[in-house]
Amino acid sequence: MLVTVKVLGGAEHTLDVAPDTPVIRVKQVLAETLDQPTASQRLIFKGKALSDDKALKFYNVVNGSKLNLVVKPVAATAATPATQAQQTTTTTTSAAQEPTRKGRFQTLLQQYLQQHYSQEDVTKLMVEVNKGIHDLVHNLNLDDVENIAVRNLEQQPSNK
């Protein structure tokens, strides 16, 4: 099957791979083509980062699918396990905390939930909602960001 890999920066590469090809093998082929080590590559499909040990078919990658490739700086990939654990802990802690600035959506949702649930349950639900929003935003690729920007620019009245 043919899959297209779009590199963050514009270049696209078409690869002929089997559905049971492991993600790490795709990264190895890209490493040879792009001269980027596999450790600095992050493949994303439909907003999900692909795990090296899984096959493409696990993620429902089919003929004609488009993968996005983010290449991390080499220095960022050389972090020690202790540093990575610290970063993970920090991210998890900050994602679990309720943000101090609430958007209109969060405020309205919280007010609605308070009508039907206890304050303790509302707090738990809001933490989960905020985690979900964080995950969705974190997994946006450049095509998604560009589409959002174009839609918002088209909706704004011109200042002429």
Q: Domains of the chain, with CATH numbers? A: 2-77 (3.10.20.90), 81-155 (no CATH)
Estimate the crossing angle of helix 104-114 against helix 119-138, to 10 degrees: 150
Q: Which ranges of the chain have pLDDT less than 70?
A: 9, 74-102, 156-160
Q: In the beta sheet, which residues pair with residue 5?
A: 13, 67
- 90-123 pLDDT, tens digit per residue, is 333 333 344 445 678 888 888 899 998 999 998 8
Q: Are 36 and 30 in contact (CB under 8 A)?
A: yes
pTM, whole model, 2 decimals?
0.49
Residue in this structure with the two tokens 């610290």, named with its chain if needed = 86
Res 70: pLDDT: 87
β-strand pairing of 66-71 with 2-7: parallel
Those residues whose C-beta lies under 8 Å from the C-beta of residue 79, and which sit 6 or more positions away, are 87
Average pLDDT of the chain to the nearest whole number: 79
Dihedral in degrees, nearest 10, Cα atoms 44, 21, 52, 41? -50
How far is it, in rounded angstroms, from Cα 44 to Cα 76?
18
Q: Which amino acid, one-letter code, is at 73?
A: P
**pLDDT for position 52:** 93
